[in-house]
Amino acid sequence: MNEFTAKKLGEVLAFAEVGKETWLKGQTALESVFEEERVAEVITANGHHAEIIRSMAEENSVSEIVLKKLEGTGTKLRQMRDLYVGDQWDNPTELLEWSGFFEGAAVVHWSLVGGAGEASGKSDMQSLAETGKDFHEDLLSSAIDLLHETGKKKAS
């Protein structure tokens, strides 16, 4: 695995970890718009993705690169999230608006990993990337739908 691919794994690892943290921190607000089981599934899936990425990095002897990129990207994501959400952790609309940025960025990063997996012939990476991309596309779609409904309700 080359350095580019290792760095991209570090970035999607950051999305998994920050995603899990975000859903845990905003759990009460998110459960007001998603079913409790769905919130738990999102938290669990993010944790699972992180575990697989860490294992993949270890198996390919690129953990140092992956973890360095995780640290940098994780810091940026947390700063952006915290600046955007501010003190609105109890406001599901604010969390869903933030998720538009976050989930869209996660989708494009997973797409990079998928391309890297394809080019290097790593079917496990391709499979994980497809799962990650689909997962974040689904969350983005859900946020879009929920925000559309919120806009309708608040405008009437």
Question: In tens digits, what is the pLDDT along the chain, a chain of 156 residues?
Answer: 999 999 999 999 999 999 999 999 999 999 999 999 999 999 999 999 999 999 999 999 999 999 999 999 999 999 999 999 999 999 999 999 999 999 999 999 999 999 999 999 999 999 999 999 999 999 999 999 999 999 999 898
Identify whether the C-beta of residue 139 lies closer than 8 Å to the C-beta of residue 42.
yes
Burial of residue 66 (number of CB atoms within 10 Å: 0-12, 13-18, 19+): buried
Q: How far is CA 6 from CA 2, 22, 70, 95, 117, in A?
A: 6, 24, 10, 30, 11
Give CA–CA dist 78/74, Å, rounded: 6
